Amino acid sequence: MKDKKLSRKKLAEIFKIPYPTINEWAKCESGNWRYEVLTFLSSLSLSEIETIKARGKKIE
């Protein structure tokens, strides 16, 4: 089964980014790095995020 898209609020929780910051990023123009980061994060499934975060813990 395909993972559903996560909400901005859930992305803010998972990545510990303030929710108002996420909303500001969404208002940026396409091509702005903030907009691009949000677009990338929004394209990830929960399982992909968990994999990436687990990989990051091993590097520390």
Q: Are 3 and 46 spatial neighbours (Cβ–Cβ below 8 Å)? A: yes
Q: Reply yes or no on whether the pLDDT at 1 is more than 50.
A: no
Cα–Cα dist 44/15, whole Å: 12
Q: How do residues 13-59 score in pLDDT, each as one tens digit?
A: 999 999 999 999 999 999 999 999 999 999 999 999 999 888 876 65
User: Quick one: pLDDT at residue 4?
Assistant: 75
- pTM for this prediction: 0.78
In which band, very low, low, confident or very high, does the pLDDT at 5 lie, cut at 50, 70 and 90?
Answer: confident
